Structure 1
Amino acid sequence: MPVSRRTFLGGGLAAAAVAVTGTPLLAGCASDKKNTAVANAAVKLPTYTKYGEITPDLPGTDVVLDGFLKYPANPVKAIAEAPGDGKPITFMTNIPGAIPPAMDKNQFWQQLNQRLGSELQISMASNDEYKDKFATRIAGGDLPDILNIPPDTPQIPGLVKSKCMDLTEHLSGDAISKYPFLANIPTEFWKGCVFNGAIYGVPVPRGMSRTSGVLYREDLLAAKGIKDPAPKSFQEFFDLAKEMTAAKENTWAWTRVPLSTIRMMLGMPNVWKQDGGKFTSMYEHEAQEQALEAGRKMVAAGVVNPDAFNDKASARKQWFNGGSAAFDYDSFVAWNQYYNDNTAGDAFAVNMLDVPGFDSGEGTPWMGGALNNVTAFSKSSTHSAETLLKIANWMAAPFGTEEYLFRKYGVAGRHYTLKGTDPVPTKVGTVETGIGLQYISDSTLALYWAGKPDVPKKQHAIQEKFAKRLVYDASYGLYSDTGSKKWAQLVKTMNDLESQIVQGKKPVSDWKAGVESWKAAGGDKIRTELEQAHADTAGK
Structure 2
Amino acid sequence: MPVSRRRFLGGGLAAAAVAVTGTPLLAGCASDKKGTAAANLAVKLPTYTRYGEIKPDLPGTDVVLDGFLKYPANPVKAISEAPGDGKPITFLTNIPGAIPPSVDKNQFWQKLNERLGSELQISMASNDEYKDKFATRIAGGDLPDVINIPVDTVQIPGLVKAKCMDLTEQLSGDAVNKYPFLANIPTEYWKGCVFNGAIYGVPVPRGMSRTSLPLYRADLLAAKGIKDPAPKNFQEFFDLAKEMTAAKQNKWAWTRVPLSTIRQMLAIPNVWKEDGGKFTSMYEHEAQLDALEAGRKMVAAGVVNPDAFNDKASARKQWFNGGIAAFDYDSFVAWNQYYSDNTAGPAFSVNMLDVPGFDSGTGAPWMGAALNNVTSFSKNSKHSADTLLKIANWMAAPFGTEEYLFRKYGVAGRHYTLQGTDPVPTKVGVVETGIGVQYISDSALALYWAGKPDVPQNQHEIQTKVAPRLVYDASYGLYSDTQSKKQTQLAKTMTDLENQIVQGKKPVSDWTAAVQTWKSSGGDTMRTELEQAHTEAAGK
Q: TM-score range by the shorter chain?
A: over 0.9
Q: Conserved in 2, the CA contact under 8 Å of 1:8 and 1:192? A: no
1:163-204 Cα distance to aligned partner (Å, 9 max, x none): 111100000001000000000000000000011111000000
Q: Conserved in 1, the CA contact under 8 Å of 2:7 and 2:473? A: no
Corresponding position of 1:132 = 132
Shift of 1:27: 1.5
Corresponding position of 1:20 = 16
Length-normalised TM-score, structure 1: 0.97
Structure-2 separation of matches of 1:184 and 1:211: 21
Corresponding position of 1:407 = 407
Corresponding position of 2:52 = 52
Query: Is it true that 1:485 corresponds to 2:505 in the alignment?
Result: no
User: Which residues in structure 2 correspond to 1:200-279 (within 5 Å)?
Assistant: 200-279=200-279
Query: Is it true that 1:182 corresponds to 2:182 in the alignment?
Result: yes
Corresponding position of 2:70 = 70
Shift of 1:31: 3.3
User: Which residues in structure 2 correspond to 1:347-496 (within 5 Å)?
Assistant: 347-496=347-496
1:432-491 Cα distance to aligned partner (Å, 9 max, x none): 111101000000000000111000000000000110000000000111111111111111
Q: Conserved in 1, the CA contact under 8 Å of 2:5 and 2:472? A: no
Structure-1 separation of matches of 2:282 and 2:179: 39
Call closer, same or farther: CA 1:6–1:503 in 2, change over 3 Å.
farther
Per the alignment, in what secondary structure is the counterpart of residue 469 of structure 2? Answer: coil
Length-normalised TM-score, structure 2: 0.97
Structure-1 separation of matches of 2:298 and 2:260: 13
Q: Conserved in 2, the CA contact under 8 Å of 1:93 and 1:130? A: yes
Q: How many residues align?
A: 533
- Percent identical among aligned pairs is 85
Counterpart amino acid of 1:303? V
Shift of 1:20: 3.2
User: Which residues in structure 2 correspond to 1:194-205 (within 5 Å)?
Assistant: 194-205=194-205
Shift of 1:19: 4.5
Structure-2 separation of matches of 1:89 and 1:125: 18
Shift of 1:21: 4.0
Call closer, same or farther: CA 1:315–1:16 in 2, change over 3 Å.
closer
Structure-2 separation of matches of 1:27 and 1:478: 22
Counterpart amino acid of 2:259? L
Structure-2 separation of matches of 1:8 and 1:297: 28
Per the alignment, in what secondary structure is the counterpart of residue 307 of structure 1? Answer: helix
Q: Conserved in 1, the CA contact under 8 Å of 2:292 and 2:498? A: yes
Shift of 1:18: 2.8
Counterpart amino acid of 2:47? T
Q: Conserved in 2, the CA contact under 8 Å of 1:108 and 1:433? A: yes
1:277-308 Cα distance to aligned partner (Å, 9 max, x none): 11111111111110000000000001101111
Q: Conserved in 1, the CA contact under 8 Å of 2:163 and 2:379? A: yes
Per the alignment, in what secondary structure is the counterpart of residue 423 of structure 2? Answer: strand
Structure-2 separation of matches of 1:342 and 1:245: 21
Corresponding position of 1:511 = 511
Call closer, same or farther: CA 1:62–1:374 in 2, change over 3 Å.
same
Structure 1 residue ranges (4+ consecutive) displaced by more than 4 angstroms after TM superposition: 13-17
Structure-1 separation of matches of 2:109 and 2:429: 11
Q: Conserved in 1, the CA contact under 8 Å of 2:253 and 2:303? A: yes
Corresponding position of 1:38 = 38
Structure-1 separation of matches of 2:307 and 2:112: 42
Call closer, same or farther: CA 1:64–1:475 in 2, change over 3 Å.
same
Corresponding position of 1:7 = 6
Q: Conserved in 2, the CA contact under 8 Å of 1:8 and 1:372? A: no
Structure-2 separation of matches of 1:279 and 1:34: 20
Structure-2 separation of matches of 1:34 and 1:402: 46
Counterpart amino acid of 2:14? V
Structure-2 separation of matches of 1:409 and 1:287: 46
Call closer, same or farther: CA 1:21–1:138 in 2, change over 3 Å.
closer
Task: Name stretches of at least 5 consecutive residues in structure 1 with no aligned partner.
Answer: none
Counterpart amino acid of 2:105? K
Corresponding position of 2:121 = 121
Please give the root-mean-square deviation of Cα atoms over the aligned residues, in Å: 1.4
Shift of 1:24: 2.8
Structure-1 separation of matches of 2:487 and 2:430: 37
Call closer, same or farther: CA 1:205–1:428 in 2, change over 3 Å.
same
Corresponding position of 1:326 = 326
Q: Conserved in 1, the CA contact under 8 Å of 2:10 and 2:486? A: no
1:57-94 Cα distance to aligned partner (Å, 9 max, x none): 00000000000000000000000000000011110110
